[in-house]
Structure 1
Amino acid sequence: MPTKRTPLIGMSLKMYFTPARTQRYLSAFVPIARSANAIGITTFLIPDFLSVAASCAALVTTEEQRYATGVGAQDCFWEDSGAYTGEISPAHLWELGVGYVEIGHAERRRIFRESGDDVAKKAAAAAKRGLIPVVCIGEIEPDESQIDFAVQYCVQQIDEAVRCVPLDSQVVFAYEPVWAIGQHNPAPTEYINAVCAGLRLHLDSLGREKSARIIYGGSAGPGLFTELDIDAVDGMFIGRFGHEPTNFEIMVQEIATKKFG
């Protein structure tokens, strides 16, 4: 598992791709991920559950690649096994080669009524199995004048999510202002930098300066990362823009232009 903060770019396919389309996508995505890793950038791809095994077979051919060119799951349960019809075991994900698990996305909180306690239990279960939780956080209403409110809102989500995750366990926080998800434009760069700087200070105060990374999502697109503060933002979490593999490659190159310590 990574022992230092490295730049990171990930993508969730949500429920947009069929398994057949995902398989075709992998043929173009895999060399991009390998090239990114060769220059020190970590990548991960989160397909639909039906495509997890095929994605692992393509991207995770060695144990070192579990996190370097990793595959993620869009959710998991908080128990390894049992009578939980329809749920996904973190232990089973680990066995397949999965390295990341997306937890607490705004859509799951809103549509499926997932609570902060649910997110906390899932994050702890994922970390216990060696999976890296990708915990989605973000304020709901847009108000660019209320940066302190946004920071405190997200800090509450952070504290709740990692209350049972050991300090030395890797965790990724995907800062996605709910009001920016699915919109034409992301949040303003000054706003993203200010909020993420506040979150970085909080994580460092908890002793997670090396084990916790912050990536920005929410209508993320080309050119955005070039304007972000790398002391606060470690990478990107992209959506439909990355459905074209060459677009994902563009953003990899934008991250590569920054000088990470």
Structure 2
Amino acid sequence: MTTWIGTSWKMNKTLAEARAFVDGLVAARDALGGVRAFVIPPHTAIAAVRERLPSDVPVLVGAQNAHWEPAGAYTGEVSMGMVADAGATLVEIGHSERREYFGETDDTVARKVAAAAAAGLTPLLCVGEPAEVRAAGGEIDWIAGQVSRGLSRLAAHDLRKVVVAYEPVWAIGDLGREASPHEIAPVMEMLSTRFGPGGDARHKISAVLYGGSVNRFNAAALLDVPGTDGLFVGRAAWDVAGFVELVRIGARAGHGRQPDAG
């Protein structure tokens, strides 16, 4: 099983800073094998990052958002085709910040997942429960519902294109706290068996990642949680040294995994 290690820069990095990050990746290219690594710049830097990355540096480039319509009068939006044209191969969809600050609903998330798959992109579907749901013990049903609704407009043959990232809302951002492996284990097991590689081969997505206050000190333990195919990292991977170290941790974890099927 390939281990995924990736990061979204959110609303950070100028073009110069983005290019400097890529130059650091190029210098560390020998450490980047053995995982499926990805970076998700802001829209302004997608093309610059893709153009700066040599073909022998195995890092995928993503987009943080895109509209479900292929074109139209949607001022300020970009389409799936546009981000693909800029060099993205995956699209982050449904992050809790998009849901909270920009009013994204399960329906708009589902539309975006289907549009990304139709455009040949990998939908990176983000899900996560708020603190009050976790406190009430409702996280399993909450997450299962978010994933089911997020995949509801997707053709069955496109399920394999999807990656799900479980990011508890209480574990992300400046005020987030680290989740323990014990806390996330039931959710990761549910996602893997119900939707992911551990489930029914006829109805499985590609991978299930964990994200939320991930750093170099807890990454190995989080990757050891059954059902976890990789990590979606925030600020701990925003500098090259941090990103490369997490890739190394992911590669070591991957050595003990079963090979990808077929």
Both proteins in one fold, TM over 0.5: yes
What residue is the counterpart of 1:171 in the other structure?
162
Q: Distance in 2 between matches of 1:31 and 1:168?
A: 39
> How many residues matched?
249
Q: Which amino acid aligns with 2:187?
A: V
Match runs of 1:82-101 below 5 Å = 82-101=72-91
Deviation at 1:143, TM superposition (A): 6.7
User: Which has the larger displacement, 100-109 or 227-236?
Assistant: 227-236
Q: 1:160 to 1:191 in 2, by over 3 A?
A: same
Residue 55, structure 1, aligned to residue 49, structure 2: yes
What TM-score comes out, normalization by structure 2 length?
Answer: 0.87
Match runs of 1:107-146 below 5 Å = 107-141=97-131
Q: Aligned match of 1:79 in 49, 66, 69?
A: 69
Q: Distance in 1 between matches of 2:176 and 2:225?
A: 24
Question: What percentage of aligned pairs have identical amino acids?
Answer: 33
Q: 1:206 to 1:151 in 2, by over 3 A?
A: farther
Q: Aligned match of 2:146 in 152, 157, 163?
A: 157
Q: Aligned match of 1:104 in 69, 94, 108?
A: 94
Q: Distance in 2 between matches of 1:60 and 1:191?
A: 39
Contact 1:34 1:69 (C-alpha < 8 Å) held by counterparts: no
Residue 23, structure 1, aligned to residue 19, structure 2: yes
Structure 1 ranges of 4+ moved more than 6 A: none
What residue is the counterpart of 1:215 in the other structure?
209
SS in 1 for 2:154: coil
User: Runs of 5+ in structure 2 lacking a partner?
Assistant: none
Match runs of 1:246-261 below 5 Å = 246-258=241-253, 259-261=256-258
Q: Which amino acid aligns with 2:193?
A: L
Q: Distance in 1 between matches of 2:118 and 2:29?
A: 26
What residue is the counterpart of 2:171 in the other structure?
180
| Root mean square deviation, CA, Å | 2.1
What residue is the counterpart of 1:232 in the other structure?
227
Q: Distance in 1 between matches of 2:156 and 2:212?
A: 27
What TM-score comes out, normalization by structure 1 length?
Answer: 0.87
Q: Distance in 1 between matches of 2:66 and 2:54?
A: 19
